[in-house]
Amino acid sequence: MVRVLEVRRDTPSVSTLVLDKKVRPEYGQFFMLWIAGAGEKPYVCSRSGGNMEVTVKRTGPFSEQLAAIKKGDIVGIRGPYGNGHFQVTGRKPCFVAGGLGIVPLLPVIEGMRDAAKGAYVILGAKTAKELIHLERVKKTGAEIHVATDDGSAGDQGFPPELFLKTLAGKNFDQVLCCGPEVMMYQILSIVLEKKIPAQFSLERYMKCGIGICGSCALDPTGLLVCRDGPVFRAEQLRGTEFGKHRRDAAGSKTKI
Ligand code: FES
């Protein structure tokens, strides 16, 4: 059980909680966060080292309760979990983030230190107001390309379109991606065709977080997102249900 030290409002629908707990997970590993009366859900740290920070978007009953938490409140955490994490292996990596997808990628970019100047970041959001952690990304020195659905900041369009256009003039040797699964699936198709090494952070309904319940299974491989991910290489996702189906709270398959 840990105390909330600070709550920062990042955008109208996104907040960051700073917790009284020092952690240093591998990039992309997740923690299960518990709120009394609401249960628990997986979250990735939005900063590496120092006090644990969790960035939360209000999307449903649990995240509404988490976002309503105030300085001094108590939450429960367990973790870190997951054996698949982000690793920078290229000198010219491209980071593709949609919405909250920048959260697990940002500590990776910051961890590159001076080498981040060779990185390229495609940062997508619905509107300018919903761009998350843009100032922190700028501080890394990486080249940034912003895209919004409505054109209120950067180019109007979606990250996969920009990625495809950008590929024509850049020679990326690696792609690291996180965002809505529909977006990631499009990026996956491109990198598999172009044979660019890539890593993707997946989100699934998680109950146990430790490989027991099967709710996060990636059919037909038997891979579990909580145990074998949440970050997977592109080749691991080829031919799976990624981009097509996921399980809901009852364990039934639903379309993405
Ligand atoms: S959440 Fe239970 S097996 Fe992954």
Q: Which of 205, 210, 221 to mutate to test the pocket of ligand 1 (most atoms within 8 A of CB)?
A: 210
- Which atom from ligand 1 is nearest to the alpha carbon of 207? 1
**14: helix, strand or coil:** strand
- CATH code given to domain 2-81: 2.40.30.10
Q: CA nearest 198: which of 95, 44, 82?
A: 95
Structure tokens at 231: 């970050």
Residue ranges of the chain that CATH labels 3.40.50.80:
93-255
Ligand 1, pocket residues at CB < 6 Å: 206-209, 211-216, 224, 226
Q: Which residue stretches of 115-238 are H helix?
A: 134-139, 159-167, 181-194, 225-228, 234-237
- Give distance in angstroms: CA of 212 to centre of ligand 1: 5
Q: What is the pLDDT along the chain (256 residues), one digit of tens a residue?
A: 999 999 999 988 899 999 999 999 999 999 999 998 889 999 999 998 899 999 998 888 888 888 789 999 999 999 999 999 999 999 999 999 999 999 999 999 999 999 999 999 999 999 999 999 999 999 999 999 999 999 999 999 999 999 999 998 899 999 999 999 999 999 999 999 999 999 999 999 999 999 999 999 999 999 999 999 999 999 999 999 999 988 888 888 888 8
Residue ranges of the chain that CATH labels 2.40.30.10:
2-81
- Which atom from ligand 1 is nearest to the alpha carbon of 211? 3
Q: Which CATH number fits domain 93-255: 2.102.10.10, 3.40.50.80, 3.40.50.2300, 3.40.30.10?
A: 3.40.50.80
- Which atom from ligand 1 is nearest to the alpha carbon of 206? 1
For 79: left if phi > 0, alpha if psi spans -120 to 50, otherwise beta; the answer is left
